Amino acid sequence: MSNDENDYLKIKLQKEAIEAKEKEAYYKEVCNTLDTDERLLNYFKDFDEQSVKEFKEFYAHQKVSWRFAKYNQTEFKAKLDERFHGYCVASLKNIQYKKLFHAMASWMSEEVVFDGIQICWDWHQWHAKPLSCPHLPPIEKHEVQCYIDFLNQVGDDFAIDDNYIHLSPDNFFETDEAKGEDRWIGQDEELMYGSWFKYYDKCYGTEYYKLKPGLRVNKENKYIYRTHEEEAKQNPIDPNAVHAPYLHFYTEKENFIRLFEDSEFKHLYRAHAAQTEQNNFAEEIDMEIIHLCDAEEIIPIESNDDWRQGVKIACEKYHRETAILLMWDVYDEYLVFKPIKDGLKDWERDSDTYDELREQVANRILTGRRLMGEPEDFNF
């Protein structure tokens, strides 16, 4: 690495560290205000206690995002220029998502054990960063070629930037083979499994992974359900009781900001909301046109009854074709960064709620074990 590259990296890391400290300090300030301001306490007392806790946590994170959005706005154009790199990174993640499904299926059926995986919820930490998952083999060249082949044959409705892959322990609930039950019957298999997973199965003969029984998830659900039963017994619902209303973040945030934020923050929030609305609309139509105008070659737009749909299809095809051209370069970057500790940090993110929710799920399982006269551990 050259001296200029070293200097750039050092400055970049320093800026990120300063911004992280500012965000952390502001987050603590917001949390303190939400917990101590008399006006807010009077407002919250009329709502369900658990919903207030959830509202405060989400509002604090959102307020940090709104307050520091100015940093992102200055980089908006630069991020657009990096979009194709992002599409390629998303493609590499999709390759690992399929192998993550294989690892989950093998663990759920109790065929293998993995360090750091005690309960089903532990897999969620790797949903957000599959490229860093230590339980998966690195991506190989033939898999990249397989994904390129997949992109070359997908239909017009496939958007490389929003291909959602649903990975959940609930995909592995146990089926009754004697009755010929199918895990996927009654579900939207395209959403739960997806066209890329099916294509990978076709190429590598790995469809059997989705047929593995979900032994582990069924055992955990048994203990969780027992805990729910006990909680319901200890706290019976009074049909005549009047319950406090639930404080919903998305329906109440506008009123909350109107009542309690100062004029400076209201202005900042309105600007952020306007930009978000503009960006969402741009992603639907304007950005497709901008992207197509950026193309060096002529992009054909096929006839369509809805011209907007025609532009959208042409843009998605352009995205896929351009990403395919860059895929090998991004894969070379992956090979460089993968062996380095935190080398893929800029490509992935940690789950914001993993630790807290994991503790809740784990406690429910252990409580269920105790209530059923079993050891309070995860060895079942």
Q: Which pLDDT belongs to residue 297?
A: 61
Q: Answer whether residue 35 is part of any domain.
A: no
Q: How many residues belong to the chain?
A: 380
Q: What is the pTM of this model?
A: 0.64
Total domain count, the chain: 1
Q: Answer whether residue 220 is part of any domain.
A: yes
Q: Answer whether residue 3 is part of any domain.
A: no
How crowded is residue 40: how many other Cβ atoms within 10 Å of its Cβ? 17
Q: Answer whether residue 83 is part of any domain.
A: yes
- CA 121 → CA 109, 136, 179, 209, 366, distances in Å? 15, 17, 29, 19, 14
SS3 for 200? Answer: helix
pLDDT in tens, 245-291: 888 888 888 889 889 998 888 888 887 777 776 666 555 555 555 55
Domain that holds residue 336: 79-235+277-371
Q: How many whole angstroms separate alpha carbon 346 and alpha carbon 17?
A: 14
Q: Answer whether residue 24 is part of any domain.
A: no
pLDDT in tens, 33-89: 999 999 999 999 989 989 999 999 989 988 888 887 654 444 544 554 577 888 899
Greater confidence (286 vs 361) lies with: 361
Instruction: Tell the residue number behind the tokens 């749909």, with chain if given.
Output: 309
